[in-house]
Chains A and B, each alone.
Chain A
Amino acid sequence: MSDFFSIFDFALILSALRLTSPILLAALGGLLTDRAGIFNIGLEGQMLVGAFLGFAGLYWTGSAWLGLLLGVAGATALSLLFGLWVIRLKGDPIIVGLAVNLFAIGLTAYLTLPVFGVQGSYDDPALEGLPRLFGFSPLVYLGALLVPALWWLLFKHPFGVRLRAVGEDAEAASEAAVHPDRIKFLACGLCGVLCGLAGAQLALSLVTQWVQGMTAGRGFIALVAIMLARSHPVGAAAAALLFGLAYAMAVRLQGIGIPPQFVSMLPYVLTIAVLVLLARRLRNRPVTT
Chain B
Amino acid sequence: MIALEGIVKRFGALTALDGVDLTVERGTVHAVVGENGAGKTTLMGVLGGIVAADAGTVSLDGEPVRIASVEDAYAHGIGMVHQHFRLFRRLTVAENVVMGREPRRRGGYDHAAAEALVDELGRAHGLRVDPRARVGELSVGDQQRVELLRALHRAADVLILDEPTAVLTPQEAEGLFGVMRELAGQGRTVLFISHKLREVLTVSDTVTVLRRGSVTGVRRASETDERELAGLMVGRAIESAYQAPDTPAGEPVLRLEALTARGLKPLDLEVSAGEIVGVAGVAGNGQTELAEAIAGLRPREGGTLTIAGRALSDATVAQRREAGLAHIPEDRYARGLAREATIAENLLMGTHRRRFRLDRRAMNARARELVEAFDVRAGDVGDRAATLSGGNAQKLVIARELAGEPAVVLACQPTRGVDIGAAEFVHAQLRAARDRGAGVLLISADLDELLALADRIVVLYEGALVGESRDEAELGLLMAGAHA
Contact = CB atoms under 8 A, between A and B. Distances in A.
B109 A157 contact: yes
A164 interface: yes
A200 to B, nearest CB: 29
A161 B100 contact: no
Contacts of B134: 288
B88 A168 contact: yes
Given A161-B91, A173-B99, A286-B90, 12 more contacts: A157-B107, A161-B99, A164-B90, A165-B91, A165-B95, A165-B99, A168-B89, A169-B88, A172-B87, A173-B100, A175-B86, A288-B90
A176 interface: yes
A152 B136 CA distance: 22
Interface of A: 152, 156-158, 160-162, 164-165, 168-169, 171-173, 175-178, 286-289
A164 B109 CA distance: 14
A178 B88 contact: no
19 contacts: A157-B107, A157-B108, A157-B109, A161-B91, A161-B102, A161-B109, A162-B102, A164-B90, A164-B91, A165-B88, A165-B95, A168-B90, A173-B99, A175-B86, A176-B150, A177-B101, A287-B90, A288-B90, A288-B134
A202 B77 CA distance: 55
B136 A288 contact: yes
B3 interface: no
Nearest to B103: A158
Contacts of A289: 90
A189 B102 CA distance: 24
Nearest to A179: B100
Contacts of B71: 177
Contacts of B90: 164, 168, 286-289
Which of B86, B95, B99, B134 has the most A CB atoms < 10 Å from its CB? B99
Contact of A172 (B86, B108, B136): B86
Nearest to A165: B88
A155 to B, nearest CB: 8
B109 A176 contact: no
Contact of B109 (A156, A175, A178): A156
Interface string B67-86: 00011000000000000001
Contacts of B87: 172
A161 B100 CA distance: 10
B377 interface: no
B335 interface: no
